[in-house]
Structure 1
């Protein structure tokens, strides 16, 4: 079914092997924690995580791994055949690392917004500031609505104020110092491969489950990028997908391809 090339095969095997280590009870969550990419300022952040995170996947969600590896073996071989194994591997790694760097920048901005909202609650524990904080954290309104309404009805109730402060402090601690708060997955590199495939083979028709009609690669990647950008900016409550790592992979792929293209008339 798939003409799997050597480098694609090795990446596939590496990801599968590491996933099996992750689901090993004795190694998980230590392996996942050491390799996942944590936000700037986290006590769990290490420099190697910009590389290792792309070889890890959610141990409790095997579809995370299957989805990324299916994309790799679907689109990667044609790129490797065009570029050769070494260039394809370099491209994969650069897209993954670059996506992690962009994600870190966006996540730092998001955490700064949470930090500001956190201190606003501590300085003035009222219903409005509490709702702002919970919204920045990403909770659905119904989760905090009862506490917020109670505080709005009794704005001077010190017991309610203290309960809100305690709740906010606990959430703040879990966000900034949680050992399971790292980002992981090969999606940043995968999105780089998707962009490169659409760039080099723009009119190739893809037959996907969704949409259930043939679509050219260039249109598929374009609309997929718009979707990721929209869902990243307008993040739904409870959404834990690193949309800006996906966008980062696309952006890094564009930069790499343009750089290679400028180096010689035909880089492919």
Structure 2
């Protein structure tokens, strides 16, 4: 395997590393500005659909995403060229963020409408969202439902995972027989089997209560979906390299 960094991937990794290290060195928190917030949150900005892709919550998070970008993105950039790869990367990353926001809004709005039907005004609901406090004697929803409602509004998304999932799917479409291995199942599996397995896992954890940690599964699914559609279109229309 050629380990040389291609131009676009090299610069993407550099920017990601800088935005991970700089806030710690400067003792500044850029989360409210650069992370992707819920659209109705006061800290939301449309630019966050791009900037959240360069923010990471921990070093393992950064390392995992940058490894995936390098491992699966390198052959794609060599095949497509720098500009086409960058267009793809940002398209799937932004698309992942949009789909993530739509799913969150659907879940949030479901609880919001229940609160409206119980007679709460928009001001009262906003007070709950601001304070995290409510009268459980007049709100028959479970603590878990209300906690998730509060979390959807306040918890920002960070990371390049959505874009990397799009890259992973495109890699699988062009290099379907490449052998890959899971960390917890170190048996080489062809990409055409490995990648659907990963996506089914994300879909399962995203739609059930079994997810471990605060993982944006639907951002992964969104990136994979946009990546599939774009790569499928390019592959079937034989788009040329964009240098």
Give the Å deviation of 1:136. Answer: 5.8
2:140 counterpart SS class? helix
Quickly say closer, same or farther: Cα 1:49–1:207, change in 2 above 3 A.
Answer: same
1:37 counterpart SS class? coil
**TM-score between both structures, scaled by the size of structure 1:** 0.76
- 2:171 is matched with which residue? 197
Quickly say closer, same or farther: Cα 1:175–1:206, change in 2 above 3 A.
Answer: closer
Q: Deviations over 1:93-132 (max 9, x none)?
A: 101000001001001011112323445677794599232x
Task: Determine if contact 1:261/1:267 at 8 Å carries over to the other structure.
Answer: no
How do 1:91-240 and structure 2 match up within 5 A?
91-119=88-116, 125-126=136-137, 129-131=140-142, 134-135=144-145, 137-138=147-148, 172=150, 176=153, 178=154, 181-236=155-210, 239-240=213-214
How do 1:35-114 and structure 2 match up within 5 A?
35-58=34-57, 61-114=58-111
Greater mean alpha carbon deviation, residues 115-124 or residues 221-230: 115-124
Distance (whole Å) between structure 1 residues aligned to residue 238 and residue 70 of structure 2: 28
Q: Deviations over 1:207-264 (max 9, x none)?
A: 34331111011111100000000100113377421100000000001111233234x3
1:69 counterpart SS class? helix
Question: Which of structures 1 and 2 has the bigger CA Rg?
Answer: 1
Q: Deviations over 1:13-48 (max 9, x none)?
A: 1100111123235321xx121001111211111110
Task: Determine if contact 2:90/2:163 at 8 Å carries over to the other structure.
Answer: yes
Quickly say closer, same or farther: Cα 1:126–1:37, change in 2 above 3 A.
Answer: same
- 2:126 is matched with which residue? none
Distance (whole Å) between structure 1 residues aligned to residue 45 and residue 55 of structure 2: 15
Gaps of 5+ in 2: 121-134
Task: Determine if contact 2:162/2:222 at 8 Å carries over to the other structure.
Answer: yes
Quickly say closer, same or farther: Cα 1:104–1:64, change in 2 above 3 A.
Answer: same
Distance (whole Å) between structure 1 residues aligned to residue 48 and residue 178 of structure 2: 35
1:24 counterpart SS class? helix
RMSD over aligned Cα atoms: 2.5
- 1:156 is matched with which residue? none
Quickly say closer, same or farther: Cα 1:212–1:137, change in 2 above 3 A.
Answer: same
Task: Determine if contact 1:114/1:137 at 8 Å carries over to the other structure.
Answer: no
Task: Determine if contact 2:97/2:222 at 8 Å carries over to the other structure.
Answer: yes
**TM-score between both structures, scaled by the size of structure 2:** 0.83
Distance (whole Å) between structure 1 residues aligned to residue 72 and residue 172 of structure 2: 9
- 2:132 is matched with which residue? none
Give the Å deviation of 1:5. Answer: 1.2
- Number of equivalenced pairs: 226
1:212 counterpart SS class? coil
